[in-house]
Structure formats: structure tokens, C-alpha cells
């Protein structure tokens, strides 16, 4: 079917600022899949329009077709980052899925330092700071010499917010008064209503931009723990398998992989086995081969 005969994705076209056809959505879906592995379902079309319409206004283009043509032809080289940031989701909270953190605490106490953790989808920072707090409490210290936490994301806007470590008070309200006092500074004056992560806690974390689809991750160490929570739901099964099997290359033989509450990896790959509720370990036969190396 010719592109000009394709119907708009949504019947709300008449109220839209920009025309948005099924072909436009298909191109966007293909581009974001090839770039970062995100698989967009048809029901995401309204979200895609809303988020990318802002980008059309910023770059002063009058149609999605012109915008996508400019991206693919290299006329907007700096726009790829904004395109990717617009289509990634950053839903997170401090100590989200709380049952994981006592497991992390006990696993850390049983290991020698330096203890290494990779938070592979750090979003705006709540998860890696929760990890760092847990490890500080496990080891009784916020010393970077004892703990190494790498926190990565593909979204550079989210990473900038994570590095800043500044949150509205309602974002930290669920933390205990003891944790708030020990790990955060309360804003005053123009910063009233905000809390900032203490520098000592920030020093435990190395924030980096990493695309999980990349063949070579810029990681030199092996990890005791990898957090990859509520990320795989955005990938199709072949992409999930590729990433999960790649994790083996950077994991210590007795390391743990933490997943999101709605994610199950057992039907995706045989490389991992279930250790507990959404907690995985390397499959025994594979772990035995790793130990024999």
C-alpha cells in the first residue's frame, strides 16, 4: 500500500498539531528497536505521538515524515539522543520492590570486599542510591574502597538527574527518618522542599551511559550482583535472551541477578535458574563450567 494512502494511527488526527500515520509509527518503532532494542506495541502510538511532537517543535519541523527523514539522513546528528530519551520510560522509586534489598544485604555480608554491583537501568537514580544505602548498612561504611556500584542507563536526561541526586521531598518521604538524616541533606532557601543525596553516598556510585544492546559493554570488572529490573518487559524474547546471556560474561560465578516483579526469565534462556522471588543465579551446569576455567 502506498504511504499516502495509509490511514492515521488514531481517529484523533483532526485535533492533532502534526499528521501521524501508521507508516510514521512503523518507522519510529523500527528505529527505536534497532537503536536500543525497545519493542513498541500498537497501543503505544498515542504515547509516541505525545513525546515526539515536542521534538518536532524543538527542531522546527512540520511533519513526522520530515523529522524521521532528517534523522535517518544524518541532518540532525544531535537529535538521536533526544529521540531515544523521549521514548524511554523512567518509572522508579526508592527501595521499590523492597523484598530484594534484604537479600542484597545478606549476600553482601557473606562476601569479601570490594563488593561489585551493576545497576543496568538506573533511570533517575532512586534504585542505585537504594543499592548504595543497603551496602553502606551491610558493610558499616560508605567507603568506595569497599563497594563499587556502576549505574547505567541509555537515557542521558535520566542519568543527569541521577548524578545530581536532588529529589522532591515527596520522593524520599517513605524512607525512615534515620535514613533521611544519614544519607540526605535537606534543602533550604530556594532549595526548600528538596532533598540532596550526601556526597559520601554519591561517591559510591559511578554513573555511565550504557546501551544494553551494545556488543561490548565498557565494563572491566566482574559483578557480585546485577540489577536489571522492569527493563526486559520492553524487549522482545530474542533481545531478552541476548542480554541475559551477555550478563554471564560480566558476572561472578556465584553472583545474583535481580529482576522486576512482572519478569520471568526461565522461558527465555536456560542460562539462569531461579534462586528466590525474582532473584536468579547462573544455572548450576554453567556455573560449574565457569568454576573449572
**Contact (CB, 8 A) for 66 and 21:** no
**Contact (CB, 8 A) for 56 and 18:** yes
C-alpha cell at position 87: 521514548
Is 51 noted as a catalytic residue in this protein? yes
Distance CA 239, CA 253 (A): 23
Distance CA 128, CA 228 (A): 11
Tell me which of 35, 51, 186, 196 is the catalytic residue: 51
Long-range CB contacts for residues 172-180, cutoff 8 Å, separation at least 24: 172/94, 174/93, 174/94, 174/95, 175/94, 175/95, 179/133
- State the pairing for strand pair 147-153/205-209: parallel
Tell me which of 27, 55, 153, 287 is the catalytic residue: 153
Q: Which residues are annotated as a binding site for S-adenosyl-L-methionine?
A: 90, 92, 96, 127, 153, 211-212, 229-230
Q: Which residues are annotated as a binding site?
A: 90, 92, 96, 127, 153, 211-212, 229-230
Active-site residue set: 51, 153
Amino acid at each position: 500500500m502506498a504511504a499516502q494512502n495509509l490511514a492515521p494511527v488514531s481517529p484523533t488526527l483532526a485535533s492533532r498539531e502534526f499528521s501521524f500515520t501508521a507508516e510514521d509509527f512503523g518507522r519510529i518503532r523500527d528505529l527505536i528497536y534497532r537503536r536500543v532494542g525497545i519493542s513498541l506495541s500498537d497501543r503505544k502510538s498515542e504515547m509516541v505521538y505525545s513525546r515526539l511532537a515536542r521534538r518536532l517543535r524543538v527542531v522546527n519541523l512540520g511533519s513526522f515524515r520530515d523529522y524521521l527523514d532528517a534523522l535517518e539522513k544524518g541532518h540532525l546528528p544531535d537529535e538521536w539522543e533526544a529521540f531515544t530519551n523521549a521514548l524511554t520510560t523512567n518509572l522508579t522509586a526508592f527501595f521499590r520492590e523492597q523484598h530484594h534489598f534484604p537479600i542484597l544485604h545478606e549476600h553482601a555480608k557473606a562476601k569479601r570486599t570490594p563488593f561489585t554491583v551493576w545497576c543496568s537501568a538506573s533511570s533517575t537514580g532512586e534504585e542505585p542510591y537504594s543499592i548504595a544505602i543497603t551496602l553502606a548498612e551491610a558493610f558499616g561504611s560508605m567507603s568506595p574502597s569497599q563497594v563499587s556500584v556502576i549505574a547505567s542507563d541509555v537515557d542521558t536526561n535520566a542519568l543527569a538527574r541521577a548524578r545530581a541526586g536532588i529529589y522532591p521531598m515527596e520522593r524520599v518521604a517513605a524512607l525512615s527518618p534515620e535514613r533521611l538524616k544519614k544519607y540526605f541533606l535537606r534543602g533550604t532557601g530556594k532549595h526548600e522542599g528538596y532533598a540532596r543525596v550526601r556526597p559520601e553516598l554519591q561517591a559510591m556510585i559511578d554513573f555511565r551511559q550504557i546501551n544494553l544492546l551494545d556488543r561490548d559493554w565498557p565494563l572491566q570488572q566482574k559483578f557480585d550482583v546485577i540489577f536489571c529490573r522492569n527493563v526486559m518487559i520492553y524487549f522482545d524474547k530474542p533481545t531478552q535472551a541476548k542480554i541475559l546471556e551477555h550478563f554471564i560474561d560480566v558476572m561472578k560465578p556465584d553472583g545474583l541477578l535481580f529482576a522486576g516483579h512482572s519478569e520471568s526469565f526461565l522461558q527465555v534462556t536456560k542460562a539462569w535458574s531461579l534462586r528466590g522471588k525474582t532473584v536468579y543465579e547462573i544455572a548450576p551446569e554453567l556455573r560449574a563450567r565457569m568454576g573449572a576455567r
